[in-house]
Amino acid sequence: MDTTLQDPLVGQVLDGRYRVDARIAVGGMATVYRAVDTRLDRVLALKVMHPALAADTSFVDRFIREAKSVARLAHPNVVQVFDQGTDRSYVYLAMEYVAGCTLRDVLRERGALQPRAALDILEPVLAALGAAHRAGFVHRDMKPENVLIGDDGRVKVADFGLVRSVDTVTSTTGAVLGTVSYLAPEQIEQGMSDARVDVYACGVVLYEMLTGDKPHEGGTPAVILYKHLHEDVPPPSAAVPGMAYELDALVAAATARNPEIRPQDAVALLGLARDARAGLDETQLDALPPQARSAERDIAEDRTSVIPRSLTVPRPLPVHSMDDEEPAGPGEDPMNRTSRFAAEPPLPPSPRRGPSRPRRGVLAIIAAVLLVLGVGAGVWYINSGQFTKVPAVLTQPQERAEKRLESAGLGVGKVSHAFSDTVKRGTVISTDPAPGARIRGNDSVNLVVSDGPETVKVPDLKGSRLDKAKELIKADGLEPGLVTEEFSDDVIKGFVIGSDPEAGTERRAGSAVALVVSKGSPVDVPDVTGQDLDDARSELEEAGLTVEVSADEVTSEFDRGQVAKQSLEPGAEAGEGDTVTLTLSKGPEMVEVPDVVGSSVDDATSALEDAGFRVEEDRGLLGLFGDTVKSQSVDGGDTAPKGSKITITIR
């Protein structure tokens, strides 16, 4: 049935500002509603203290202390408190509304998590608690119910309702506040609550994420408390063979029974967690967890309770179970009140009381009420009767995801497939509606299943023009890579000879494909320097080369209009159709010839070479032993092309 309809606060406006729309959770001290801030027009969570407790000054003080302490923690991983106030008998906190689920929801749905996922959740939790510890506060009630996981993946710590100064020793009329499965030994035995109790609780939460089970379980809270005092938290590898040693060590450090050897606060534990992650390889981080156990859990173990001090002292068992609680007072909801567990031997019934209800009957009634209302104290999100939430089935195999949906009373709608580089083939990439979304019972959920990384075959590109080959590569989901050129007698210049990887090879989408393009058949470059332009062009084109003429001309030994230079060296290999650029001569530079007649051979040679001429000697028979220049081929004072030859006659 829809319990929201029976809540008198739904539909009211508190403090003339907060319109209460729906009840979303019930805890031991307060009820949480979804509300709208009518001034700022935003959705928020309204935490309203139970009216019966609002008359208790100590509870009201604790409530206000939560508002003030959390308001000081401006941290992205802490649920923010916006406002605190009182309206008639209602004391409330206006808080950030987080759409998503709790870590408890995740553990109930999936059981143990992969180490990577566990650390991804633990680290922001420790960051949030570290901010609280450094600000001078301790949470004192860390458990999966108080870890919120938003639909956007953000992790936030909620419910600082038990927050106190780190220097304060808890003394609640001889009782210990907290949740039995996550209480540190010093909380149980001495009532000590410094930052190390949060460290211990986080170690227990990490153990539960890695194994899917709590380290200490028992038939009654008293048994669990006894184990916290006298038994170490076992290493996760004892429950999950093959678990990395670094994770065992991290849990052992956080859950040391002696607080003196625990990390001093969440900041120190965060450092150890990051060191542990750094010591794990990808295989260890992504190790598959054991099969999820049954979602049925002992609700009493997950409740924030007030434990009488007498119970915290080690005693021989047996002790009383939950069935020995006093009945609820007039008008008190037995589910919502703070639980008390007695450790003393049972006393005879008081004559003023009516006959005691049989234990089995009490348990049956409590179970029936819990079953009807669907309420577990401390759980943040509760679905109304006609709605449910889409289970978290992401990264699960398709068959398991479909069974999970069916077990939640939902149908499996359209199943489509998509490629994914990060999600394993055959597992769920996404759902519509998204995980955690409200959905009517019996509605269907569409699944998108991974086909793994997208792979495509490299197309056959041989003989394709380069620009066309690039288009084909992109059309198949690949990318053109490095282009190199080679000579080929078979493939025309500018067309593809082959590719790397070869045609038909499977590659991941987006991979690069290198191309080898033909330079055509090899051609020996002829020497055309000194030729007239027309003759040079004809010879080069007959060889299969293309001719271009440079706009610049140079002085050279060749006559004006003849080829002075060519861009490809004579005798080099070129591809068919390659371009040879010719530079024409504008004629030689004319230089005045020195007069060297009568000079010695050495002096004459030096003077002519310095002027830019080449020197040739003509000795004849009469000049074999002579050393004097008798004449020169160009008279001194005349001009001759620079670089031309001057002959000197020696007698």
Catalytic residues: 141
Strand partners, 484: 516
Single-letter residue type at 568: L
Q: Whose CA is closest to 531, among 565, 570, 563, 571? A: 563
Return the SS3 of 619.
Answer: coil
Q: CA 641 to CA 518: how far, in whole Å? A: 45
Cβ burial, residue 12 (10 Å; 0-12/13-18/19+): middle
485-522 burial code (b ≥16 CB/10 A, e <16): bebbeebebebbbbbeeeeeeebeeebebebbbbbbbe
Q: Which of 619, 625, 612 is nearest to 648 (CA)?
A: 619
Using the CB atoms, write b or e for 196-209: b if 16+ within 10 Å.
bbbbbbbbbbbbbb
Whole-angstrom CA distances from 298 to 201, 224, 322, 628 are 18, 12, 11, 126
Q: Which of 640, 630, 638 lies closest to 604 in space, CA to CA?
A: 630
Look up residue 114 and give its amino acid: Q
Hey, what are 350's tokens?
A: 């008081």
Q: What secondary structure letter does DSSP report for 144?
A: G
Residue 419 near residue 451, CB atoms below 8 Å: yes
> How far is Cα 230 from Cα 601, in angstroms, rounded to an integer?
117
C-alpha 312/C-alpha 314 separation (Å) is: 6
Cis peptide, bond prior to residue 144, ω within 30 of zero = no
Q: How far apart (Å, rounded) are the C-alpha atoms in residues 478 and 455?
A: 9
In the block, tokens 């149908």 appear at 411
How many Å apart are CA 153 and CA 124, to the nearest integer?
A: 11
| Residue for token pair 């990887």 | 501
Q: What share of the chain is helix, strand, coil (3-state, %, to 5)?
A: 30, 25, 45
**How far apart are the C-alpha atoms of 26 and 304, rounded to whole Å?**
12
